């Protein structure tokens, strides 16, 4: 086997690339690469050792291959995915499970052997005519207890380029960890592409995650959430690893909230896609550690977190100069930014839904040539950009980057926030009574209306515990239990808050301005530091009017009136009771192994609400 591995690598890689690989002492790595080089049969293999020259080679390839093209602003490029490949493909994303393993109805699985057989059939010779890129990355900071080395094989230079921006380089980490490295493996092919360089065999789009072998397969797709293996695909592998080792991988931002006397208090926050996670991480006056995925570990009495990534694959819809000044600037100035699925004009400038200024009359977008009023095959009007169109950038180009991004120790977390798209139930901000109450009634009970980030209908209310339901690789009941256990033995666990940016009145008008969230975060920071009190309600602890009045003045220079407070913070008893019933029913009927304490805590909340109703 070793000989065969070595023969394949020597012949297919050529001397220089073979030598780069040999710097890493890890036979399992060689075997993995050899297997997929033999199977995919690329014309050439390029091993990236993270040197500036190697990275430049791949970045130039994105232009040479036609996967990206240059825009008017220096460093900016545009990439298009197929019109039918614009979001995460939940239907064809499956966890591979051996016989007798049951992950429950909430997680889509496929028989492991059958899945591997099918995917290997699809992969056979799929890279013929293409170059394969072998890249090394590290999830979490390097040289840290959090570090997870990863190897990515892809025939898409665009995928590699995205990963350069999103992840820390990992070649040296592989050398450092040597044969002991417990690394994750990713193999991706965009498959056959057309003249526009978009994947054409969408019906054979498959994303299979094999936790047994720490490997992810992704094929016939280019959309980042399906193809950038390290993102949500790696997340499933690490959730599986966490379950065995007692730490957490969460769909969470990490940010520093700036309090009085230069105090910085770090929070994490979980929100489903398109529910304000990035804009929260980018709140002006605060600092960003990460906007999407966090690892959390306990260190003594503290909870510490790192950003798994170092870049942003953000939704561009709605970004404008007023609401997002820092991102706006980063997207207007020279620097490395990959845009995807937005409108490009003849002058190579760009436009997207919700950008400042007029929508150009014509241009080129994810549908090809585009003009105002253009309709797709189903007669649906095509907007200038897709609602899930994205940009990728390295956080290092942002003015509000927190200095602790790469701290191998992570940051100490004092608060955890859960929020979804909820028009009628939760108040804008509320602290839970304690850790378990928070995990159960805020995290595990998180519901959200579906958005364009996944393929399928929008606006349907779904239970999305910890906003992580799409990414679980262990049964939901176990995952909830793991979250409960994580903080249960700490004397002072982080405070847990529920937050709601989407509350509406009876006529469907939003009850809050986008900027109000600045105040909620300052309030939570002061709660975490014992500087403000609260009012106890049946569902948790809400701010006192006087504290918010003061904060609205300090933070936004606005007069916050009692009437608005009453409207926003009244406890919606029937809605909360209905929610508890919905959540309880799903957890009872569709999920096994839910810890009994979950039902106990929900029942107690119900009783408190019923008592309040009687009063």
Whether the CB-CB separation of 351 and 359 falls below 8 Å is answered with yes
Residue 231 binds which one of Mn ion, ligand SPV, none, with CB within 5 to 8 A depending on kind? ligand SPV
Between vectors from CA 310 to CA 306 and to CA 312, what angle results, nearest 5°? Answer: 115
Q: Give the C-alpha distances (Å, rounded to integers) separating 495 from 158, 188, 269, 529, 545.
A: 40, 40, 12, 10, 20
Q: Which stretch binds Mn ion (CB under 5 A): 22-30, 158-166, 177-185, 290-298?
A: 290-298
> Cβ 524 to Mn ion, closest distance in Å?
21
Q: Beta strands 447-449 and 461-463: pairing type?
A: antiparallel
State how far the Cα of 607 lies from the Cα of 61, in Å rounded to an integer: 62
Among 191, 224, 438, 595, binds ligand SPV (CB under 6 A): 224
- Encode burial over 313-342: b for 16+ CB neighbours within 10 A, e otherwise: bbbbbebeeeebebbbebbeeebbbbbbbb
> Cβ 262 to ligand SPV, closest distance in Å?
32
The count of residues interacting with Mn ion (CB under 5 A) is 1
Q: Read out DSSP for 29-71?
A: HHHHHHHHHHHH--SEEEE--S-HHHHHHHHHHHHHTTSSEE-
Helix, strand, coil shares of the chain, percent, nearest 5, are 35, 25, 40
State how far the Cα of 127 lies from the Cα of 145, in Å rounded to an integer: 36
Chain residues 369-428 in contact with Mn ion, contact rule CB under 5 A: none
Residue 313 binds which one of ligand SPV, Mn ion, none, with CB within 5 to 8 A depending on kind? ligand SPV
Is the backbone of residue 191 left (phi > 0), alpha (psi -120 to 50) or beta?
left
Using CB under 6 A as the criterion, what x/- string covers residues 229-248 for binding ligand SPV? --xx----------------
Helix (H, G, I), strand (E, B) or coil at 112: helix
Q: Which stretch binds ligand SPV (CB under 6 A): 14-22, 57-65, 224-232, 279-287?
A: 224-232
State how far the Cα of 365 lies from the Cα of 33, in Å rounded to an integer: 35
Q: Which is nearer to Mn ion, 119 or 446 (CB)?
A: 446
Helix (H, G, I), strand (E, B) or coil at 526: helix
> Cβ 280 to Mn ion, closest distance in Å?
12
Chain residues 87-116 in contact with ligand SPV, contact rule CB under 6 A: 88
> Cβ 182 to Mn ion, closest distance in Å?
24
Chain residues 52-91 in contact with ligand SPV, contact rule CB under 6 A: 88
Q: Which is nearer to ligand SPV, 185 or 390 (CB)?
A: 390
Please give the torsion angle defined by the CA atoms of residues 127, 129, 134 and 140, in that order, rounded to the nearest 10 degrees: -60
Chain residues 313-332 in contact with ligand SPV, contact rule CB under 6 A: 313
Q: Which is nearer to Mn ion, 286 or 292 (CB)?
A: 292
Q: Could you say whether residue 190 binds ligand SPV (CB under 6 A)?
A: no
Whether the CB-CB separation of 534 and 544 falls below 8 Å is answered with yes
Q: Could you say whether residue 470 binds Mn ion (CB under 5 A)?
A: no
Catalogue the active-site residues.
Answer: 275
181 DSSP 8-state letter: -
Q: Which is nearer to ligand SPV, 159 or 411 (CB)?
A: 159
The count of residues interacting with ligand SPV (CB under 6 A) is 9
Q: Which is nearer to ligand SPV, 292 or 430 (CB)?
A: 292
363 CB burial (10 A radius; 0-12, 13-18, 19+): buried
State how far the Cα of 392 lies from the Cα of 224, in Å rounded to an integer: 10
Chain residues 446-485 in contact with ligand SPV, contact rule CB under 6 A: 453
From 431, 433, 598, 548, select the one nearest 498 (Cα to Cα): 431
> Cβ 291 to Mn ion, closest distance in Å?
8
Scanning 257-345, the segments in alpha helix (DSSP H) are: 277-281, 325-332
Scanning 185-231, the segments in alpha helix (DSSP H) are: 224-227
Among 163, 286, 292, 481, binds ligand SPV (CB under 6 A): 292
Q: Which is nearer to Mn ion, 277 or 351 (CB)?
A: 277
Q: Which is nearer to ligand SPV, 152 or 273 (CB)?
A: 273
Residue 224 binds which one of Mn ion, ligand SPV, none, with CB within 5 to 8 A depending on kind? ligand SPV
> Cβ 1 to Mn ion, closest distance in Å?
39
Among 273, 279, 317, 385, binds ligand SPV (CB under 6 A): 273
Residue 304 binds which one of ligand SPV, Mn ion, none, with CB within 5 to 8 A depending on kind? none
* CA 94 to mean position of chain CA atoms: 18
Whether the CB-CB separation of 15 and 47 falls below 8 Å is answered with no
Q: Which is nearer to Mn ion, 390 or 522 (CB)?
A: 390
Residue 414 binds which one of ligand SPV, Mn ion, none, with CB within 5 to 8 A depending on kind? none
Q: Could you say whether residue 292 binds Mn ion (CB under 5 A)?
A: yes
Q: Which is nearer to Mn ion, 133 or 502 (CB)?
A: 502
User: Which positions lie near Mn ion, rule CB under 5 A?
Assistant: 292
User: Which positions lie near ligand SPV, rule CB under 6 A?
Assistant: 88, 224-225, 231-232, 273, 292, 313, 453
């Amino acid at each position: 086997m070793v000989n065969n591995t070595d023969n394949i690598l020597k012949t297919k890689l050529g001397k220089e690339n073979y030598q780069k690989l040999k710097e890493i002492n890890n036979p399992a790595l060689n075997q993995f690469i050899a297997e997929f080089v033999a199977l995919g049969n690329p014309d050439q293999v390029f091993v990236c050792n993270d040197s500036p020259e190697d990275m430049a080679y791949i970045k130039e390839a994105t232009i040479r291959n036609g996967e990206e093209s240059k825009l008017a602003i220096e460093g900016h490029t545009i990439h298009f995915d197929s019109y039918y490949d614009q979001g995460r493909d939940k239907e064809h994303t499956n966890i591979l499970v051996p016989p007798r393993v049951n992950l429950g109805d909430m997680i889509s699985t496929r028989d492991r052997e059958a899945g591997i057989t099918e995917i290997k059939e699809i992969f056979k010779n799929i890279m013929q005519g293409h170059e394969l890129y072998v890249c090394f990355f590290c999830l979490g900071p390097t040289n840290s207890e959090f570090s997870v080395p990863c190897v990515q094989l892809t025939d898409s230079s665009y995928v590699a380029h995205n990963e350069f921006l999103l992840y820390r380089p990992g070649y040296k980490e592989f050398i450092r960890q040597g044969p002991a490295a417990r690394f994750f493996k990713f193999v991706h092919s965009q498959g056959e592409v057309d003249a526009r360089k978009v994947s054409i065999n969408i019906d054979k789009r498959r994303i299979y995650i094999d936790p047994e072998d720490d490997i992810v397969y992704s094929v016939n797709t280019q959309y980042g959430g399906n193809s950038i293996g390290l993102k949500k695909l790696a997340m499933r592998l690490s959730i599986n690893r966490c379950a065995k080792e007692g730490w957490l991988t969460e769909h969470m931002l990490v940010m520093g909230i700036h309090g009085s006397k230069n105090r910085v208090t770090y929070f994490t926050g979980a929100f489903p896609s398109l529910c304000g996670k990035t804009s929260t991480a980018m709140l002006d006056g605060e600092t960003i550690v990460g906007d999407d995925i966090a690892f959390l570990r306990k260190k003594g009495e503290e909870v510490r977190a790192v950003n798994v990534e170092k870049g942003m694959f953000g939704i561009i819809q709605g970004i404008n100069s007023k609401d997002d000044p820092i991102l706006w600037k980063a997207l207007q100035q020279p620097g490395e930014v990959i845009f995807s699925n937005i409108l490009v004009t003849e002058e190579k400038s760009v436009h997207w839904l919700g950008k400042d200024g007029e929508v150009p009359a014509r241009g080129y977008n994810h549908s090809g040539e585009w003009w105002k009023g253009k309709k797709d095959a189903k007669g649906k009007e095509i907007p200038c950009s897709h609602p899930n169109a994205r940009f990728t950038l390295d956080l290092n180009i942002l003015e509000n980057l927190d200095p602790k991004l790469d701290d191998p120790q992570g940051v100490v977390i004092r608060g955890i926030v859960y929020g979804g798209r909820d028009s009628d139930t939760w108040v804008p901000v509320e602290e839970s009574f304690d850790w378990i109450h928070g995990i159960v009634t805020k995290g595990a009970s998180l519901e959200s209306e579906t958005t364009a980030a996944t393929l399928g209908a929008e606006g349907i209310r779904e239970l999305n515990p910890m906003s992580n339901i799409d990414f679980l690789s262990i049964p939901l009941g176990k995952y909830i239990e793991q979250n409960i256990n994580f903080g249960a033995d700490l004397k002072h666990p982080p405070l847990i808050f529920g937050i709601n940016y989407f509350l509406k009145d009876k006529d469907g008008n939003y009850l809050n301005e986008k900027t109000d969230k600045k105040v909620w975060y300052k309030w939570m920071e002061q709660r975490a530091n014992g500087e403000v009190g609260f009012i106890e309600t049946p569902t948790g602890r809400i701010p006192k009017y006087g504290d918010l009045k003061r904060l609205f003045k300090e933070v936004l220079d606005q007069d916050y009136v009692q009437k608005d407070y009453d409207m926003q913070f009244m406890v919606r008893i029937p809605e909360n009771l209905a929610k508890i019933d919905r959540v309880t029913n799903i957890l009872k009927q569709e999920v096994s192994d839910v810890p009994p304490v979950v039902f106990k805590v929900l029942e107690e909340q119900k009783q408190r609400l019923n008592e309040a109703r009687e009063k």
